[in-house]
Amino acid sequence: MQIQLSDVDTALAVVLNPELQSMNYDILSKKLDGLTYDEVLELASQSETKIDISFN
């Protein structure tokens, strides 16, 4: 999700775009095409978007 949302500037953009509200493999495939595993990890670590999944 960090990679998928890396170009999103506001939470409102996510709320207004249903395609961003769950995993969108089309978006991810475009961003990850041709990258190695290490490049994918680097891309995720550079994203300012932070995802916190908490289970209560």
CB 31 within 8 A of CB 43: yes
What's the pLDDT at 50? 64
Instruction: Quote the domain boundaries for residue 41.
Output: 11-46
Residue 6 counted as domain residue: no
| Polymer length in residues for the chain | 56
pLDDT of 35 reads: 94
Neighbouring residues of 37: CB distance < 8 A, sequence distance ≥ 6: none
pLDDT per position as a tens digit, 1-56: 778 887 788 888 888 888 888 888 998 899 899 999 999 888 888 877 666 666 66
pLDDT at 51: 63
Contacts 24+ apart (CB under 8 A), 22-25: none
Tell me whether residue 31 is in a domain: yes
Number of domains in the chain: 1
Count H helices and E strands in the chain, helices first: 3, 0
Evaluate whether residue 35 is within a structural domain: yes
